[in-house]
């Protein structure tokens, strides 16, 4: 088959989106991640089923899907409970920590720039 500039453009734009760096998150994913961060900061553990039920204005099914998306983007890790394999805990990955560190740094920079 002859090479096609449009097909090349499509694959190239996919490769550009795939460039190494922090993954792009949509609003729901950001909200889920913020809820997890809040719980982790207080020393709590977050379960997948527990979190999926309490995300405001988002159906349980959508929350599950977004948790799966976050897992595929390597932003969270899922660990099974040693006593009950049905329960899965959400834990931060190194990429997730890097994400919050960068957000933290932006806030510090912004506050310094303002003062």
Partner 1 sequence: MRAYMQEKNGAWNQWSEIFSTVKVIFLVAVVWIFLYYLNQSIGFFYLNDYVSWIFFPATVRLLSVLLFGGPGVAGLFLGCLVTTIPLAETKVALLMIPAISSISPYIAVWVCLKLMRTGRNLQNLTGAQLLIMAFATASLSSLAHSIYFYYNGEPVFLWRMLIGDFIGSLFILYMAKALLNRYSRTRRKLVHPCQKGSS
The residues binding partner 1 (CB under 8 A) are 1, 3-5, 7-9, 11-21, 24, 26, 59
Q: How far is the CB of 2 from partner 1 (least distance, A)?
A: 8
Residue closer to partner 1 by CB (options 45, 71) is: 71
**How many degrees, rounded to 5, is the angle at CA 32 between CA 105 and CA 38?**
60
Residue closer to partner 1 by CB (options 65, 71) is: 65
Residue closer to partner 1 by CB (options 44, 56) is: 56
Q: How far is the CB of 25 from partner 1 (least distance, A)?
A: 9
What is the distance between the alpha carbons of residues 35 and 14, in angstroms, rounded to a whole number? 30
Q: Which residue has the tokens 């998150």?
A: 25
- CA–chain centroid gap for 14, Å, is 20
What are the beta bridge partners of residue 91?
Answer: 77
Q: How far is the CB of 91 from partner 1 (least distance, A)?
A: 25
Report residue 89 as tokens: 């805990």
Q: How far is the CB of 80 from partner 1 (least distance, A)?
A: 29
Instruction: Please name which of 69, 67, 30, 72 lies closest in space to residue 52, comparing C-alpha atoms.
Output: 67
């Amino acid at each position: 088959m002859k090479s096609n500039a449009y097909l090349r453009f499509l694959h190239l734009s996919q490769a550009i989106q795939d460039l190494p760096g922090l993954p792009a998150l949509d609003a729901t994913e950001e909200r889920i991640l913020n809820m997890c961060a809040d719980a982790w900061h207080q020393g709590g553990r977050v379960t997948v089923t527990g979190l999926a039920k309490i995300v405001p204005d988002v159906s349980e099914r959508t929350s599950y899907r977004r948790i799966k998306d976050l897992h595929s983007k390597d932003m969270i890790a899922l660990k099974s409970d040693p006593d009950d394999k049905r329960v899965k805990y959400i834990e931060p990955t190194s990429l997730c920590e890097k994400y919050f560190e960068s957000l933290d740094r932006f806030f510090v920079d912004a506050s310094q720039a303002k003062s």
